[in-house]
């Protein structure tokens, strides 16, 4: 009972600090209890969160369907999935609003392009998950550029050697908080 209250308090503080002009996305709530997840997501809705990411373990598709149909907030899932078949199941059986492939697991760019088509046909959103390095983020930016309606790019901003020292010129946010799709051979970054 204390942990959900703490989460709500953190999101309330984040909204207060960020104001109403910034989108908030919530991650890290993993629960095995769909009733708890429904209650928590409903509480977070009053802060206008853009989405809640993986509030349940990713393979519990019946629970995702129940959650998605019980709340107004967008539910995101997919960073742990591999291959088009698992994403088809997530869309069909889990009924999530946002699909989040991690290209290092999802089958690469060719498979992810097929996923973009599947997601768009289902009327869902796709937000690539890229958490390990600038190499993965560069590939994910290219996937976003391929989409008809890209939304966001999730990526890690810490300065760990794995995240920032593999690329000769690490990816950086511009003054407005955007990443530019790298240009050049391959993924557009030099290692």
pLDDT by residue (tens digit) across 114-162?
Answer: 999 999 999 999 999 998 899 999 999 999 999 999 999 998 887 788 7
DSSP state letter for 72: S
Long-range contacts of 150-156 (CB under 8 A, 24+ apart): 151/98, 151/125, 151/126, 151/127, 152/23, 152/25, 152/127, 153/127, 153/128, 153/179, 154/25, 154/100, 154/127, 154/128, 154/129, 154/130, 155/130, 155/131, 155/179, 156/130, 156/131, 156/132
From 28, 186, 190, 180, select the one nearest 108 (Cα to Cα). Answer: 186
Which CATH superfamily is 78-175 part of?
Enolase-like C-terminal domain (3.20.20.120)
**Per-residue pLDDT at 5 exceeds 80:** no
Percentage of residues in the chain with pLDDT exceeding 70? 98
pLDDT in tens, 28-57: 767 778 999 999 999 999 999 999 999 999
pTM for this predicted structure: 0.92
The mean pLDDT of 91-111, rounded to a whole number, is 95
pLDDT, position 2? 59
Q: What is the mean pLDDT of the chain?
A: 92
pLDDT, position 21? 92
**Per-residue pLDDT at 81 exceeds 90:** yes
**Per-residue pLDDT at 1 exceeds 60:** no
Q: Tell me if residue 99 falls in helix, strand or coil.
A: strand
pLDDT band at 165 (very low <50, low <70, confident <90, very high): confident
**Per-residue pLDDT at 85 exceeds 60:** yes
pLDDT, position 140? 96
């Amino acid at each position: 009972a204390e942990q959900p209250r703490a989460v709500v308090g953190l999101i309330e503080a984040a909204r207060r600090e960020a104001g109403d002009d910034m989108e908030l996305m919530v991650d890290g709530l993993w629960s095995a209890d769909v009733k708890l997840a429904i209650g928590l997501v409903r509480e977070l809705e009053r802060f206008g969160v853009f989405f809640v990411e993986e509030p349940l373990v990713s393979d519990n598709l019946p629970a995702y369907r129940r959650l998605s149909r019980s709340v107004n907030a967008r539910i995101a899932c997919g960073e742990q999935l591999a291959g088009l078949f698992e994403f088809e199941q997530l869309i069909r059986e889990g009924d999530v609003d946002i699909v989040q492939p991690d290209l290092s697991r999802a089958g690469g760019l060719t498979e992810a392009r097929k996923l973009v088509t599947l997601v768009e046909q289902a009327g869902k959103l796709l937000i690539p998950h890229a958490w390990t390095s600038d190499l993965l983020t560069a590939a994910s930016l290219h996937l976003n550029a391929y989409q008809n309606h890209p939304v966001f790019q999730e990526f890690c901003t810490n300065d760990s050697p794995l995240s920032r020292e593999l690329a000769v010129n690490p990816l950086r946010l511009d003054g407005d908080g955007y990443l530019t799709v790298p240009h050049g051979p391959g993924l557009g970054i030099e290692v």
